[in-house]
């Protein structure tokens, strides 16, 4: 479908769902995107498009300061304004918007978790994804192409069936594929490989991918249109606390006062939390990803090969996007080492021998906020007015809408959103409510 046709087909839906931007729109600079604008701007030589958000200077005081202009921070700002009417809000970003992990992931969106806590949260997030483009009036290229998790033994089939039932129970979709169905859907895999022959797969049709940068840009534009100040190249250098309460932050662009400050900087959580005297249950690790040259459509779904620590999808531009497991040593380098790159290539070749014909264009690493149990944290920090959102491990991208939505709820109301009520900071200390999805133990270095 051409971009114009795509926009036109969505226009009627968008026209009915404009509550977010209705009424008293403050200083935001963006225009609504629709087919009429494309036509109008096209006829005028495309000289009328304006920047999607302003570049304001920081004011001396805000109601809420959000540290971190990535996907989660921008989504938090958006939902604070859209759902809770809080518009005197600033997002402080040390680089440019979306310059961190939101642009360094492999773009997968899914709700295939099994444990209480994760189950309702990712289900909530997936439902937000499904209305996101209409909500934001922005094409985030959300594509529900389906995810297939392969399994390779009878025991793994049982585990997949159990997980599939958990997904159905949480209100999402799951289909257990047998050997023949898997072969029909994924004819290009080596199904009879001697190492891990494919017994079938757990198919999650509503899973898929989205354009990662566009998610950050869409939330940024949506927040800006409601008056949120997005302040780039503004690094927080200190958090001001007086009498056990947050009073503001120090930044490279001066001091800013606020009664509520939210830390949402996965990848640098430990450093920012240390400014408030906190030590977090977080280790930062590197996860590598790889992309090939653009190819004609060949992979229709997201395919995961757990036994090889390998997963792959094809971007809309044609590149095969794939990755593996952590390098397993703490790192902030945003790049990994060759042994893991080699392991990922070997696993890919085992599963999908045709991969050897593609040329890898580039590889990179993201900085993962690893928590001891592999699940995230959205909670009050032990300082009045300070909130913390961290520990997304290697699953932060799909969580962006849910995380922003639930974090905004916590900041605005002081109460956790029901979908994220189990993401407590104190669960490691008390041992209550650990969400160890892999069943390996709630210890660092095991996830």
Partner 1 sequence: MLIPCPLCGPRDLREFSPRGAAVTLERPDAEALPEEWHAYLHLRDNPAGATRELWWHGAGCGAWLIVERNTVTHEVIGVSLVTGEPEQ
Judged by CB under 8 A, does residue 99 bind partner 1?
no
272 within 8 A of 381, measured Cβ to Cβ = no
Judged by CB under 8 A, does residue 284 bind partner 1?
yes
The enclosing H or E element of 130 equals: helix 118-130
Residue placing its CB nearer to partner 1 in the complex, 394 or 428: 428
Least gap, CB of 266 to partner 1 (angstroms): 12
Judged by CB under 8 A, does residue 282 bind partner 1?
yes
Size of the site for partner 1 (CB under 8 A): 24
Least gap, CB of 48 to partner 1 (angstroms): 44
Of the candidate spans 147-155, 214-222, 274-282, 314-322, the one that interacts with partner 1 by CB under 8 A turns out to be 274-282
Of the candidate spans 55-63, 172-180, 280-288, 354-362, the one that interacts with partner 1 by CB under 8 A turns out to be 280-288
Judged by CB under 8 A, does residue 270 bind partner 1?
yes
Ramachandran class of 343: left when φ > 0, alpha when ψ lies in -120 to 50, beta otherwise: alpha
Identify the sign of the CA torsion 116, 398, 401, 66: positive
Residue placing its CB nearer to partner 1 in the complex, 279 or 296: 279
Residue placing its CB nearer to partner 1 in the complex, 11 or 444: 444
What phi and psi, each to the nearest 5 degrees, are found at residue 398? -65, -20
Half-sphere exposure of 288 (CA within 13 A, CB side): 22
Residue placing its CB nearer to partner 1 in the complex, 188 or 364: 364
Interaxial angle between packed helices 212-225 and 71-84, expressed in degrees from 0 to 180 and rounded to the nearest 10: 40
Give the count of beta carbons closer than 10 Å to the beta carbon of residue 443. 11
Judged by CB under 8 A, does residue 294 bind partner 1?
no
Least gap, CB of 117 to partner 1 (angstroms): 18
Of the candidate spans 182-190, 238-246, 290-298, 331-339, the one that interacts with partner 1 by CB under 8 A turns out to be 331-339
Nearest-angstrom CA–CA distance, 338 and 61: 47
Of the candidate spans 149-157, 187-195, 228-236, 275-283, the one that interacts with partner 1 by CB under 8 A turns out to be 275-283
Paired sense of beta strands 229-231 and 61-67, if any: unpaired
- What are the strands, taking DSSP E only, across 296-434? 302-305, 310-314, 319-330, 360-370, 377-380, 386-390
Least gap, CB of 94 to partner 1 (angstroms): 13
Nearest-angstrom CA–CA distance, 202 and 151: 8
Of the candidate spans 47-55, 103-111, 266-274, 379-387, the one that interacts with partner 1 by CB under 8 A turns out to be 266-274
97 within 8 A of 219, measured Cβ to Cβ = no
Half-sphere exposure of 244 (CA within 13 A, CB side): 2
Nearest to 63 by CA among 308, 424, 442, 408: 408
Residue placing its CB nearer to partner 1 in the complex, 205 or 433: 433
Least gap, CB of 45 to partner 1 (angstroms): 47
Selected binder of partner 1 within 73, 100, 281, 376 (CB under 8 A): 281
Residue 438 class from Cβ within 10 Å (0-12 exposed, 13-18 middle, 19+ buried)? exposed
Of the candidate spans 209-217, 293-301, 325-333, 403-411, the one that interacts with partner 1 by CB under 8 A turns out to be 325-333
Selected binder of partner 1 within 76, 288, 315, 331 (CB under 8 A): 331
Residues 416-445 contacting partner 1, CB under 8 A: 428-429, 443-445
Judged by CB under 8 A, does residue 332 bind partner 1?
yes
Selected binder of partner 1 within 68, 372, 374, 376 (CB under 8 A): 372
Judged by CB under 8 A, does residue 337 bind partner 1?
yes
User: What is the largest distance, in Å, between two alpha-carbon atoms of the chain?
Assistant: 66
Nearest to 401 by CA among 215, 270, 250, 229: 215
Judged by CB under 8 A, does residue 262 bind partner 1?
no
Judged by CB under 8 A, does residue 21 bind partner 1?
no
The binding site for partner 1 (CB under 8 A) comprises: 268, 270-271, 274, 279-284, 328-333, 337, 339, 372, 428-429, 443-445
């Amino acid at each position: 479908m051409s971009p114009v046709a795509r926009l036109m087909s969505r226009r009627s839906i968008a026209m009915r769902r404009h509550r977010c931007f209705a009424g008293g729109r403050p200083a935001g600079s963006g225009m609504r995107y629709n087919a009429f604008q494309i036509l109008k701007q096209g006829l005028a030589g495309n000289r009328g498009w304006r920047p999607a958000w302003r570049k304001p200077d920081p004011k001396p005081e805000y109601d809420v300061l959000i540290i971190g202009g990535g996907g989660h921070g921008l989504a938090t700002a958006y939902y604070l304004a859209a759902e809770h009417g809080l518009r005197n809000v600033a997002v402080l970003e040390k680089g440019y918007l979306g310059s961190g992990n939101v642009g360094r992931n492999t773009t997968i969106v899914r709700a295939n978790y099994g444990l209480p806590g994760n189950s309702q949260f990712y289900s909530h997030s997936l439902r937000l994804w499904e209305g996101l483009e209409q909500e934001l009036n922005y094409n985030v290229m959300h594509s529900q192409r389906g995810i297939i998790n392969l399994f390779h033994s009878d025991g793994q089939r049982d585990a997949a069936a159990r997980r599939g039932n958990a997904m159905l129970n949480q209100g999402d979709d799951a289909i257990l594929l047998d050997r023949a169905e898997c072969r029909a859907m994924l004819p290009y895999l080596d199904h009879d490989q001697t190492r891990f022959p494919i017994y079938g797969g757990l198919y999650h049709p509503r899973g898929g991918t989205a354009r990662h940068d566009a998610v950050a840009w869409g939330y940024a534009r949506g927040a800006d249109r409601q008056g949120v100040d997005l302040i780039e190249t503004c690094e927080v250098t200190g958090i001001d606390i007086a009498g056990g309460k947050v009073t503001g932050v120090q930044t490279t662009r001066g001091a800013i006062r606020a009664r509520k400050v939210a830390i949402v900087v996965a990848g640098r959580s430990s450093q920012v939390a240390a400014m408030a005297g906190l030590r977090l249950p977080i280790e930062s690790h590197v996860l590598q990803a790889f992309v090939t040259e653009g190819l004609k459509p060949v992979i229709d779904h997201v395919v995961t090969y757990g036994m090889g620590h390998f997963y792959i999808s094809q971007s809309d531009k044609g590149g095969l996007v794939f990755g593996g497991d952590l390098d397993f040593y703490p790192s902030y380098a945003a790049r990994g080492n060759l042994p893991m790159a080699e392991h990922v290539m070997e696993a890919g070749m085992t599963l999908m021998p045709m991969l050897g014909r593609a040329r890898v264009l580039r590889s990179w690493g993201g900085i993962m906020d690893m928590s001891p149990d592999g699940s995230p944290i959205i909670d009050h920090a032990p300082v009045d007015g300070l909130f913390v959102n961290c520990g997304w491990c290697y699953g932060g991208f799909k969580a962006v809408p849910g995380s922003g939505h639930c974090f905004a709820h916590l900041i605005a109301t002081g109460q956790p959103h029901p979908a994220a009520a189990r993401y407590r900071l104190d669960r490691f200390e008390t041992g209550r409510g650990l969400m160890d999805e892999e069943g390996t133990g709630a210890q660092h270095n095991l996830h």
